[in-house]
């Protein structure tokens, strides 16, 4: 999530295209690999010297592109969103799209792994295991029959648990012959999951192997240690998948209790995007939600407490490189216009400071000028309560302390002296011009609807996105960065062979 915008990376979604009536295409996202130009090894020293380019000079060719003078301002037409509530009380947002004969459904519950301990004390992994087993059989269909039904219909049906949300999603062809039985399978898995004991034992054994393998992955070790050190006793502190100590204790009754407590109508929201009329969408929403038990909304999560001083955590690991995660407690998802504007200000400022592109200040200094790493980036991850702000990179063991100090210096220099108007202008243009890509596919639109539903954002959230970017001012961005980031109090987690805080060679 490092491409900073307040739309959860929707601008990176691929464009959709029409499919043949007789087949379904696979939508692929293409990544362009940009390689630096290499000098000809046979060129003379004189020829190489003439190839040097002053990167601070304006690009002369741009002055010859007269077509740019006639470019019209970007006009963005966001999808028309219909809102209604089912008889079970579930709020629904619907966008009609007729380009493809498909329907995307996104059913979200306020029920992520942060609720694990409400089912069993330190029952880490219960939400994740519930999500895993929903698609592994129902009362009327065992695991094999359920899987065969999904494959016969050619649908995508999945469920997954994050820190603070539980998502059940469905993609199907929009004709009744496919969509109606697909919706029936979705309701079966939600209301009558099998939670077979033998399947549960197999899942636990497989998950334990994966958790053992994670101990050999420096990035995973750093991520787990960062969350534990940042959040302490807060529910966000533990891994969503559970731990080696807690997964063996998960049992069938805990999964049933989690489903009965959190996968209920009063704790749900629904998003539908596809080739349906409004009347069809309303009927589909009723079919999906009418069998859900009413239940109660999940209680609000407690707010985590920020660290009051710098904290360093080192995990010994036999590798030639050190993995570094640094950061602090960030912000929660903004739900009012003032806070949304502040988050947009920060998103643009952070894109200049720590975005994943090669123009970002951290990338320019730590990668290009100092050569400490191949890549460094940082991002805010707002959630129901305050999410983390993280900057991550890997570097040689003997350069870890120098790379950390240099990174902190870039951040502090940015806070002290501020960003420039040119940096802000380029980032604003980039975000505005790429914003329409979020509506290029059914999945992109439906992901936006699901996010807006979950955080109870108004439809104007999308309508005002470009306007919020236009309202960003240089002074406001610099002030927001200063108000948000405290590099002197950063939590810094390192995973590598050398402890950069103790090794004398590393300190040099």
Name the strand (E) or helix (H) holding 314.
strand 311-316
| Whether residue 174 sits in one domain with residue 89 | yes
Q: Which residue has the higher pLDDT, 45 or 279?
A: 279
Phi and psi dihedrals of 131, rounded to 5? -65, -40
Higher pLDDT, 54 or 249: 249
| Contact between 261 and 118 (Cβ < 8 Å) | yes
**Between 33 and 76, residue with greater pLDDT:** 76
What is the model's pLDDT at position 176?
96
Q: Which residue, 116, 121, 133, is CA-closest to 197?
A: 133
Q: What is the pLDDT of residues 457-491, one digit of tens each?
A: 998 898 899 999 999 999 999 999 999 999 999 99
**In a shared domain, residues 126 and 192:** yes
Inter-residue contact 137 to 199 (CB < 8 Å) = yes
Q: pLDDT tens across 40-50, in order?
A: 333 333 333 33
The DSSP result for 177-227, as a single string, is: HHHHHHHHHHHHHHHSB---HHHHHHHHHHHHHHHHHHTT-HHHHHHHHHH
Q: What integer is the mean pLDDT of 436-458?
A: 92
CB 312 within 8 A of CB 506: no
d(CA 441, CA 10): 10
Task: Output the average pLDDT for the chain.
Answer: 87
> Does 285 lie in the same domain as 319?
no
Query: Rounded to whole angstroms, how far apart are CA atoms 12 and 356?
Result: 13
Q: Indicate the residue among 255, 289, 323 that finishes a domain.
A: 289
134 falls within a domain: yes
> Which residues touch 175 (CB under 8 Å, ≥6 apart)?
101
* Residue 76, pLDDT score: 72
What's the rounded Cα separation, in Å, for the pair 80 and 10?
A: 17
CA dihedral of 131, 133, 138, 139, whole degrees rounded to 10:
-110
Same structural domain, 264 and 315:
no
Distance, CA of 162 to CA of 6 (rounded, Å): 18
Task: For residue 402, tell me if it sits in a domain.
Answer: yes
Q: Which residues contact 305 (CB under 8 A, 6 or more apart)?
A: 232, 234
Locate 105 and state its tokens. Answer: 């459904």
- Count how many domains the chain has: 2
Task: Measure Cα distances from 132 to 160, 223, 234 in Å.
Answer: 7, 22, 24
Q: How many helices (H) and strands (E) does the chain have?
A: 18, 11
Q: With 80 as the cut, is the pLDDT of residue 451 above it?
A: yes
- Within 10 Å of residue 147's Cβ, how many Cβ atoms? 15
- CATH number assigned to the domain comprising residue 499: 3.30.830.10
Strand, coil or helix: 29: coil
Q: Which of 226-240, 284-298, 427-441 has the lowest mean pLDDT?
A: 427-441
Domain membership flag for residue 6: no
Which letter does DSSP use for residue 465 in this model? H
Q: Which of helix, strand or coil describes residue 46? A: helix
Judgement on whether residues 339 and 270 belong to the same structural domain of the protein: no
- 413 and 470, same structural domain? yes
Would you call 489 helix, strand, or coil by DSSP?
A: helix
Assess if residue 63 is contained within a domain.
no
In the prediction, which pLDDT does 53 show? 46
Beta bridge partners of 391: 326, 378
Tell me how long the chain is. 508
- Rounded to whole angstroms, the Cα distance separating 260 from 179 reads 26
Return the pLDDT at 73.
65
pLDDT (0 to 100) of residue 159: 97
Same domain, 353 and 485: yes
**In percent, how much of the chain has pLDDT > 90?**
79
Whether the predicted pLDDT of 125 surpasses 50: yes
Tell me: do 187 and 336 sit in the same domain.
no
DSSP 508: -
Determine, yes or no, domain membership for 3.
no
Quote the pLDDT of residue 18.
Answer: 38
Q: Region 157-185: what's the mean pLDDT?
A: 97
* Nearest of 163, 104, 178, 170 to residue 135 by alpha carbon: 170
Give a yes or no: residue 75 inside a domain. Answer: no
Asked if the structure places residue 24 within a domain, the reply is no
Q: Are residues 135 and 267 in the same domain?
A: yes
Question: How far does the chain reach from its first CA to its final CA, in angstroms?
Answer: 33
Position 74 scores a pLDDT of: 64
The pLDDT value given to residue 504: 58
- Answer whether residue 298 is part of any domain: no
Residues 251 and 316 in one domain: no
Q: What is the pLDDT of residues 257-271, one digit of tens each?
A: 999 999 999 999 999
Flag whether pLDDT at 55 surpasses 70.
Answer: no
β partners of residue 21? none
Q: Are residues 386 and 272 in the same domain?
A: no
More confident residue, 504 or 108: 108
DSSP 227-269: HHHHHTTSGGGS-TT--TTTGGG--HHHHHHHHHHHSSGGGEE
Which pLDDT score, from 0 to 100, does residue 438 have?
84
Identify the pLDDT of residue 14.
Answer: 36
pLDDT of 327-375, one tens digit each? 999 999 999 999 999 999 999 999 999 998 999 999 999 999 999 999 9
Overall average pLDDT of the 431-460 stretch: 91
Confidence category of residue 63, pLDDT binned at 50, 70, 90: low
242-255: average pLDDT? 97
pLDDT above 60: residue 251: yes
Rounded Cα distance, 120 and 12, in Å:
38
CA distances from 205 to 44, 130, 147, 197 (A): 62, 15, 21, 12
Q: 258 is in which domain, residue-wise?
A: 82-289
Query: In angstroms, rounded to a whole number, what is the distance separating the alpha carbons of residues 10 and 25?
Result: 21
pLDDT on residue 68? 53
97 shares a domain with 231: yes
Spatial CA neighbour of 324 closest among 396, 228, 424 = 396
Q: What is the pLDDT of residues 75-121, one digit of tens each?
A: 777 889 999 999 999 999 999 999 999 999 999 999 999 999 999 99
């Amino acid at each position: 999530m490092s491409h900073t915008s307040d739309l959860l990376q929707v601008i990176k979604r691929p464009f959709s295209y029409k499919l043949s009536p007789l087949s379904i295409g696979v939508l692929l996202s293409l990544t362009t690999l940009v390689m630096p130009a290499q000098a000809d090894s046979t060129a003379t020293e004189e020829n190489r010297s003439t190839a040097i380019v002053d990167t601070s000079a304006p690009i002369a060719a741009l002055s010859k592109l007269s077509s740019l003078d006639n470019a019209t301002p970007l006009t963005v037409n966001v999808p028309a969103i219909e809102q209604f509530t089912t008889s079970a009380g579930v709020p629904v947002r619907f966008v009609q799209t007729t380009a493809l004969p498909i329907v995307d459904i996104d059913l979200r519950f306020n029920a992520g792994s942060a609720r694990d301990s409400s089912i069993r004390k330190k029952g880490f992994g219960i939400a994740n295991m519930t999500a895993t087993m929903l698609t592994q059989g129902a009362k009327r269909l065992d695991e094999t029959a359920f899987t065969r039904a999904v494959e016969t219909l050619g649908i995508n049906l999945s469920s997954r648990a994050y820190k603070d949300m539980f998502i059940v999603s469905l993609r199907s062809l929009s004709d009744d012959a496919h969509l109606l039985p697909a919706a029936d399978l979705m309701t079966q898995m939600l209301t009558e999951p099998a939670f077979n004991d033998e399947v549960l034992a197999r899942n636990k054994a497989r998950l334990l192997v994966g958790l053992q393998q994670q101990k050999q992955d420096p990035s995973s070790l750093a991520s787990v240690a960062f969350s534990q050190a940042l959040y302490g006793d807060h529910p966000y502190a533990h891994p969503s998948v559970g731990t080696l100590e807690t997964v063996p204790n998960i049992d069938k009754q805990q999964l049933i209790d989690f489903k009965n407590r959190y996968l209920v109508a009063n704790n749900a929201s629904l998003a539908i995007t596809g080739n349906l009329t409004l009347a069809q969408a309303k009927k589909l929403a009723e079919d999906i939600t009418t069998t859900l038990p009413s239940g109660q909304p999940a209680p609000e999560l407690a707010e985590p407490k920020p660290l009051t001083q710098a904290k360093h955590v080192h995990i010994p690991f036999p590798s030639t490189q050190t993995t570094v995660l640094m950061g602090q407690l960030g912000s929660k998802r903004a739900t009012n216009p003032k806070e949304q504007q502040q988050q947009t200000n920060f998103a643009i400022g952070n894109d200049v400071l720590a975005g994943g592109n090669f123009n970002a200040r951290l990338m320019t200094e730590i990668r290009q000028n100092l050569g400490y790493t191949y890549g460094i980036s940082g991002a805010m991850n707002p959630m129901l309560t305050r999410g983390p702000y993280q900057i991550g990179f890997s570097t040689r063991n003997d350069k870890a302390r120098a790379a950390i100090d240099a990174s902190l210096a870039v951040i502090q220099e940015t806070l002290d002296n501020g960003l420039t108007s040119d940096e802000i202008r380029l980032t604003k243009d980039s975000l505005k011009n790429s914003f329409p890509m979020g509506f290029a596919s059914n999945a992109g639109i439906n992901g936006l609807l699901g996010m807006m539903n979950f955080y109870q954002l108004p439809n104007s959230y999308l309508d005002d996105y470009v306007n919020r970017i236009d309202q960003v001012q240089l002074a406001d961005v610099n002030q927001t960065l200063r108000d948000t980031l405290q590099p002197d109090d950063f939590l810094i987690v390192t995973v590598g062979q050398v402890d950069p805080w103790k090794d004398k060679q590393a300190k040099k």
